[in-house]
């Protein structure tokens, strides 16, 4: 079986709004790039774990290029709020389509295939 090529996309996480006191000291303009490559653990950005947990539902669809089943202004962008309603921080998750990560399955990457 020949190798097959797939791609994922990095996600830029950016703070677009912050009100009240953020215990992690996040502020407008902070940003991180979050990448996923199968077989490797993603490097977790230094973001509040509660906020990161709120974002987790959207990472895989954004990484793999999927569309959300509800209307968004931009299919590559999603807005997420941290769960602290008294001191909300709003994050923009942006799929970076111009920076794809190409993946190859088969051969040495797939233990079920024989060389």
pLDDT in tens, the chain (115 residues): 445 678 889 999 999 999 999 999 999 999 999 987 777 777 777 889 999 999 988 998 999 888 877 767 788 999 999 999 999 999 999 999 999 988 766 545 455 544 4
**Structural domain boundaries in the chain:** 4-109
Contacts of 57 (CB under 8 A, 6+ apart): none
- 6 DSSP β-pair partners: 103
The SS3 of residue 27 is: coil
Contacts of 88 (CB under 8 A, 6+ apart): 17, 18, 19, 20, 81, 82
d(CA 45, CA 35): 10
How high is the pLDDT of residue 3?
Answer: 53
């Amino acid at each position: 079986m020949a190798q097959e090529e797939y791609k994922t996309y990095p996600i830029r996480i950016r703070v677009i709004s912050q009100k009240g006191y953020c215990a992690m000291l996040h502020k407008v303009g902070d940003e991180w790039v979050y990448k996923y490559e199968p077989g490797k653990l993603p490097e977790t950005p230094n973001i509040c774990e509660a906020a990161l947990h709120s974002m987790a539902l959207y990472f895989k669809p954004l990484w793999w290029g999927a569309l959300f089943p509800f209307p968004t202004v931009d299919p590559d962008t999603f807005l997420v709020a941290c769960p602290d309603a008294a001191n909300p921080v709003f994050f923009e998750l942006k799929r970076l389509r111009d920076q794809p990560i190409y993946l190859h399955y088969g051969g040495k990457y797939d233990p079920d295939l024989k060389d």
